[in-house]
Structure 1
Amino acid sequence: NSFRQMFRSTRSLHIPTRDLPLSPDTTVVLHQVYNLLLGLLGRAKLYVDVPVHGTTKLVQYFSFMTYCLISKTEKLMFSSYFMDLWNLFQPKLSEPAIATNHNKQALLSFWYNVCVDCSENVRLIVQNPVVTKNIAFNYILADHDDQEVVLFNRGMLPAYYAILRMCCEQSPAFTRQLASHQNIQWAFKNLTPHASQYPGAVEELFNLMQLFVAQRPDMREEELEDVKQFKKTTISCYLRCLDGRSCWTTLISAFRILLENDEDRLLVVFNRGLILMTESFNTLHMMYHEATACHVTGDLVELLSIFLSVLKATRPYLQRK
């Protein structure tokens, strides 16, 4: 009864049950039911045709399986069904241009939860070349004015980008591959400037960015060049697309990660980045003095710190001139 009652009261797709007191007999029954549900993954693709079945047919199915993840044991039970899940996600759920596909959201939530604290399931992703080639292709509509779409993305995207982040944490090769993917650059450009609407997704995207710029002692020259190119591409993208008057939090978060050396900072200078930072500073300065917005003090200090580091980087260049 407690299992059923707690399932009914669960509201988040992203937080599986923890510390649920189950007797050994109850656990056996749970595993029998869970195994039966896992065995149906291969047939689930029969119910993703939106004109026939809509976009919610599989929500309770994946929600219940997520609820069954009370320990690592259940996560490892999923491993042998991994390809059934993948063949359901791609291309049946990932490719169609459907703004709010709740089946996809529920699948990604389950997939995320079976990967958390289970490197074996993450390894299934990064060691499969078909999966690594296609996992970054996932239709996302970035309509920031449609509240239904915003709420859907707020629920779906954190799980999706967290899966990609866990893969990067385990595989340097996948990290390099993902860093150059067009859809990641799209996400940096179209999602990170809207942190207030997608806080979880933006946090995961900046986590990914940190992994993309991280350098290991054993990196080859080619890999170091890839990191350099990623920073150059991403800095240039932000300098083109950000509005300094409203996107200072994005600018601060991105530059804190991307501006690691004087070469990075000079790229900002040569691409009119000082104007962008000045616009952000003027907005924050006005908010600080003309409104009850003392909460921007931290942002103001961080922006000035970045500004100072960029200006200092110009000193050797000006001396050579």
Structure 2
Amino acid sequence: MASKQALRRAWFQLHKWLGLLLAALIIPISFTGAVLVWHEELEPWVYPDRYATSGDVTLAPAAYLEAARTAMRPGERVASLAMPDHGGPVTVAAAPAHAPDRPGPPQRTNIYLDPPTARVLEVAPNNAGIMRVLHVLHGSLMVPGVGRQIVGWVGVAMMVSALTGLWLWWPMTGSWRRGFRWRRHANTDTNLHYQFGFWVSLPLFVLSLTGAWISFPAFFGPLSGEAPRPRPRPAAPLEATARPVEEVLALAGGEVRQVSWPTEKKAEWTVRLARGQVTVDDRTGAAKREPPAPEGVMRLMRRVHDGTGMGLLWRWAIFLGGMIPVLLAVTGVIMWWRARGWRAKVKRRRVRAAMA
């Protein structure tokens, strides 16, 4: 029994100090992750201007390109054209004529157009806006260079915290059913910590594991037989193409979702369809249909983490798995602060008793 109590005290200290030291990081990571589960539903509320469309009827691509060029800055070139999804706008992405000499996501100017009229609804950079801030905060805490690794290690710590918390939730005596009693402690915040901590432990462990997997692809990739691919350097789109976009779309066929322009590095169109994608050589017009690639473990981990295609029930689990740790961090700090004050009172009583 003594060894069991000693082990419990050790788990308690590990659980406590992980929570206290990482609370300032856990709160923004968890909260932004919970919000981003609903990013598709939130975008029309956050960006009402770009979603102020007048209908779903679409025009020929040339009409959108002509309208977008009136909003492009001097020197920019068309990089891609995305057709509306779920009643949204047509989006034309423009890129600078000279690609930056660095790896990473390319910088684009997005021009949002009304599908039936090609009217410009909004012009915005792809790396700005509140939703973009939430993505960067969740993925790297907005810390350049090492932010992704910091988030990954926080994920590892949260996995340990979930396991130690589950251990501490388990009653030391009597049936495990006692763990579900609300009033295990006199303080409401402690009862909240026990109960919500138990119910969120499994989703939190899964989200933490998948988050760490995403943050450390070089470590986890070989475990699943997937070597991490280096991020290619962005290339500038061609200033003038040999083939018009209408011809390319006719060669591709199918329901078009997005078409990406040839670049100075690779003179090839990429047409993403509702099922699979087609590449078209800009010089020869040769079209090559590529079936949907099989889903690897890395892609599966990302879908589990963000809820893409995982159903409404799991999206709600992710949402609660992000919001409840915020509550656990707050109640954990309150519990520590109260215990600190209680120990100080006990110490003062002992001092007075010794002096009496």
TM-score band w.r.t. shorter chain: under 0.3
Bigger radius of gyration: 2
Structure number with the higher strand fraction is 2
Structure number with the higher helix fraction is 1
TM superposition score normalised by structure 2: 0.20
TM superposition score normalised by structure 1: 0.21
